[in-house]
Amino acid sequence: MYESLDVRNLYFAGTNTHSLDWRKSAGGFIHGYRYTVRTLHRIMEWTHHGVQWPAVKFSNPLDLLPHVLKRVNEASDIYQMFSEICDVIIFGEDKISSEYLESFPCPLVSILPHVSGHKVPGSVMVLSMEYGKNFSGVGKDVFHGKRAARDPREGHKASLLHPVIYYYGKLFTTADHIHKHKQWVLPVPDRIVSLIEEFTTKFDAERSHVLMFRRFIEDSIGVDMRHWFANQCLKLSLTETNIPLGCQTPSLPAVTDFISNTVNATPTYQQPLVELDVTNNHRNYIKYLPRYVTKLK
Ligand SMILES: Cc1cc2nc3c(=O)[nH]c(=O)nc-3n(C[C@H](O)[C@H](O)[C@H](O)COP(=O)(O)OP(=O)(O)OC[C@H]3O[C@@H](n4cnc5c(N)ncnc54)[C@H](O)[C@@H]3O)c2cc1C
């Protein structure tokens, strides 16, 4: 990437690298190619100097989720270089811990170990900011009445820039990437979720964004990521061998009336739980998780 095809060790930076994202992203502008230049630097750090791509490490997905939310709400690289620069989450062998690589070129995800120095032992998630695939183009009315998706289950119909997360049980190959549909940023994943757009690009709504993200991660890696109160954790630790992650980290104070939408936040189109059998609820949680994500394989 950004290296001459016929002169070895000749690299390009700046607006001329826009050839790779021409008519797709913002690499022809300073606000875009400042990130592709950094990408080139990081690739060369590993390939020439043995310095790994910087990564944030998380021991569990409860800590990962706030980081993902922070990135979709604050990151300028995946926002400006939409569909070209992605964030990659590499899950460890335990399927719980992860490494978070920011600002990685989407077209190079298939050869990530080779250009970043990070091993990929199992599953990966890729976060990308994308416009709706049929949003603009010759003869398209970008202001049509139904341009904005409002129902969280219809994030895949969003037109404006919105976050999309892909989940792959194992890293796809370069051949998969080359043969992907040309409108797709990445090859068809095992699971995918698109969050609905937000006019001010604040993707922090409790149900439309945070809950969608959380349930997507829960569904993909099969863990219950809810937080629990101390008395619930006590009961689960006495009755279950599989203690939820939320009970393995500092828990919320015990309260008698703990049935609240904070603990069991459910979308408005679902009936809220009125009673909670803690043991059964945790045991069957993943099995009965409401799935608004598109399962593609
Ligand atoms: C009107 C206009 C408005 C813009 N507004 C914005 C904006 O608001 N925000 C933004 O982010 N970007 C904006 N851009 C884009 C931005 O200015 C350019 O992308 C940026 O200046 C390109 O920088 P560069 O160093 O990659 O290339 P250049 O500035 O084009 O530098 C390339 C250099 O290489 C030299 N060169 C070419 N061939 C050779 C050769 N064979 N041998 C030696 N030297 C050679 C050229 O003389 C030139 O000095 C704008 C561009 C234009 C034209």
Which pLDDT does position 242 carry in this prediction?
Answer: 87
CA distance linking residue 39 with residue 105, whole number of Å? 7
SS3 content of the chain, % helix, strand, coil (to 5): 35, 15, 50
CA 150 to chain centre: 20
Which pLDDT does position 259 carry in this prediction?
Answer: 42
pLDDT digits (tens, 9 = 90+) for 168-216: 999 999 999 999 998 899 999 999 999 999 889 999 999 899 999 999 9
Which pLDDT does position 204 carry in this prediction?
Answer: 93
Indicate whether 252 belongs to any domain. no
Residue 282 above 50 pLDDT?
A: yes
Indicate whether 174 belongs to any domain. yes
CA distance linking residue 128 with residue 105, whole number of Å? 10
**Ligand 1 atom 8: residue of nearest CA:** 29
pLDDT digits (tens, 9 = 90+) for 220-270: 999 999 988 888 899 999 998 888 999 986 544 544 444 444 445 444 334
Q: Is the dihedral of CA 197, 73, 203, 116 positive or negative?
A: positive
Residue 120 above 50 pLDDT?
A: yes
CA distance linking residue 111 with residue 176, whole number of Å? 11
Please name the residues in contact with 58: beta carbons below 8 A apart, sequence gap of 6 or more.
Answer: 64, 67, 97, 98, 99, 100
Which pLDDT does position 261 carry in this prediction?
Answer: 43
Note the pTM of the prediction, 2 decimals.
0.87
Indicate whether 63 belongs to any domain. yes
**Ligand 1 atom 13: residue of nearest CA:** 29
Indicate whether 199 belongs to any domain. yes
Residue ranges around ligand 1 (CB below 6 Å): 14-15, 28-31
**Ligand 1 atom 6: residue of nearest CA:** 29
Atom of ligand 1 nearest to the CA of 13: 26
CA distance linking residue 81 with residue 104, whole number of Å? 11
For 22, the domain range is: 15-221
Cα 84 to ligand 1 centroid, rounded to whole Å: 21
Which pLDDT does position 62 carry in this prediction?
Answer: 94
What is the band of 135 on the pLDDT scale with cuts at 50, 70, 90? confident
Indicate whether 90 belongs to any domain. yes
Indicate whether 190 belongs to any domain. yes
In angstroms and rounded to an integer, the radius of gyration of the C-alpha atoms of the chain is 21
If one counts the domains in the chain, the total is 1
**Ligand 1 atom 4: residue of nearest CA:** 29
Indicate whether 127 belongs to any domain. yes
Indicate whether 130 belongs to any domain. yes
Substitution candidate for ligand 1 out of 7, 11, 15 with most atoms within 8 A of CB:
15
